[in-house]
Amino acid sequence: MERERKQAVWAIWFIVFPVFVFFIVDHFRAFPGENVTGLLSFAVLIILVSLFPIRIKSTSLIPLHGIALAVFLQFGLIAEMAVTQLALFTALLMLRLSKKEIYRIPFNSVIFLGVSMVSAGVFYLLGGTTGSMERMTADVVIPAAGYALTFFITNHLFIYVAIKYLTKRDVSFWDEGLKWEAFSAVMIVPVGLTVAMLYNQIGFMAILIMGIPFVSVSLILRQFHNSETTNGLLKKVSSYGYQVNENLSVDKIIDLFMDHVQTIFPVDAVHVYDYNPKDGLRFRNSTESVEGRQVDKLSLKVSQTSETLHFQSYKQWQEVETQDILSDTESVISVPVMRNQECVAVITLTSGRKRVFEKRHVMILEFMANYLAVAVQNARNYEMKKKESERCALTNLYNFRYFENLLLEKFDKGTSEDQQFAIILLDLDHFKRVNDTYGHHSGNEVLCQVADVLTNTVGSAGTVARYGGEEFVVLIEDTNLSFARSLAETLRQALENQPFVVENDLSEGNESLINITASIGVAGKSEPDETAMAVLRNADRAMYTGAKQQGRNRVAQFS
């Protein structure tokens, strides 16, 4: 909700609520003394019920409306409004509202005041009267049913309109929660009438008789809901575990982790830090901007102690860190990511609400941190093995296995027949002389320098690979033969004009500068059904017959 609208809500409440308090005070001045104990007992019962809401799926059901109806039937509208407001404040305090959500107190308070008055109005219009009720007759049941139905409709309608037009959120009027609220509304009448009738017959004991089952059922269903919620969270964690076991990169694994954390935990911010003793703690990923931001001391402490921190409010961690770093933060979980008994990363979750993270959240986050550690290590091993299988260990260029697979995947497996490409194949001239004169180690150094020249010259125009020995190959996609020949000539000149540094390993080891030339063959796809490997063989023919056999240090085009 926008700030101006929140201010308007507070302004309305500060006008309406004092008037309501005035009527309460004025009403209770003349309130019979013998009713005070009963009303206080109802107030205690409705507070207890508010402390233990019944959770069904994502909906919290608080059977306070039934108790409120009993209070209304027994003591009248003002008493009902008083205990309803008391229950409302209790329930909202249990929701652990953040500073940004505190407006919900006046927001719901005004709505419930309006709902109580409208419901009472319908009750009186239907001929209902409040006071002593000894039997369930039509004169009582029909107005009470009208009260319950009006309470249900106006409550949901007021909240729907307020959310849709004040907070500008796109909400549905008919949702899953409405079904359970309707069920709750149906139960209001028998519960309210039963409590009111029993109170008239046996007095204070009626509250104990009805209150104990209320609280007991709420506690049982709450425990059941907690178990169901934990199982649901574990299923989401299991889903995350399956997904990270796929062949994903480290960055994608961490992105997947961030996405799942935000759906599993009630967080405002997620921070993932890398840690090693040399560089310390550094941001790896975050749901907030980290530019110019310092690492919080809570995460730093976790990296140093390798122990989880769990705080329910700012007061618990204010001596360690200030809210200048963790702004608008109350609840915090910070867990270490361990590998080989050492902390390698830290995950920190924050929320602006108090007591939002429970013990199960700590357990699940530690579980996910273990998943993350294993998944990242597996991904790094996979990337390393993949690189080893695709790269030439000497030059760090792609090897021929990778290059051959690239050709087959891109051009020989269901690819459009009209896709054009060209291949440049080059062989260093008289390279055996380099090995024989300066040693094979120096020859390897020259090959590395040649690889650098080719990579820098080709750039993003193509893919460079080591074909084998002193031969190199370049793939140029979506191009014509004219461009490929021009690039090949550029490569030939770049090699010819580049002095290469060698150390004479066969003598004193002095450095020398030598020149290298290359014979180059170029071929492109000329027929729709021509395979990529055929084009490669044509480039090979052009290199040997058109360049090598014609004097070397030249470019030849297959035709």
Cα dist. 539→398, 491, 520, 527, 534 in Å? 18, 15, 8, 15, 9
Amino acid symbol at 456: N
Q: How far apart are CA 76 and CA 117, in angstroms?
A: 11
Distances (CA, A) of 265 to 199, 330, 349, 486: 44, 15, 9, 58
Element (H, E) at 197: helix 176-202
Cα–Cα distance, 477 to 462 (Å, whole number) = 7
- Write the DSSP symbol of residue 295: P
* Residues 125 and 165: beta-carbon distance below 8 Å: no
Compute the distance between CA of residue 191 and CA of residue 202 in angstroms, rounded to an integer.
16
The token pair that represents 218 in the structure block: 């709420």
User: Cα–Cα distance between 337 and 376 in angstroms, integer?
Assistant: 11
CA dihedral defined by 159, 162, 165, 169, rounded to 10 degrees?
A: -50
Which amino acid does the sequence have at 158? F
Chain mean position to CA 477: 38
Q: Which tokens is 176 given?
A: 């899953």
Q: Which amino acid is at 267?
A: V
The DSSP 8-state label assigned to residue 391 in this structure reads B
State how far Cα 443 lies from the chain centre. 52
CA distances from 378 to 275, 284, 365, 372, 383 (A): 18, 18, 20, 10, 9
Rounded Cα distance between 333 and 321, Å, is: 14
Residue 34: count other Cβ atoms within 10 Å of its Cβ.
8
The Cβ-side half-sphere exposure at 97, using a 13 Å CA radius, reads 13
Known catalytic residue: 470? yes
Q: Contact at 8 Å (CB) between 368 and 260? A: yes
- Region class of 557: left (phi > 0), else alpha (psi between -120 and 50), else beta: beta
Q: Which of 330, 445, 470, 471 is catalytic?
A: 470
Q: What are the start-end ranges of the E strands in 194-289? A: 269-276, 280-286
Q: How far apart are alpha carbons 87 and 336 in whole angstroms? A: 41
Q: Edge to edge, what strands does the sheet with 463-468 contain?
A: 463-468, 471-477, 421-428, 518-524, 555-557
3-state helix, strand and coil shares in percent for the chain, rounded to the nearest 5: 60, 15, 25
**CA-angle at 475, arms to 473 and 476, nearest 5°:** 140
Active site residues: 470
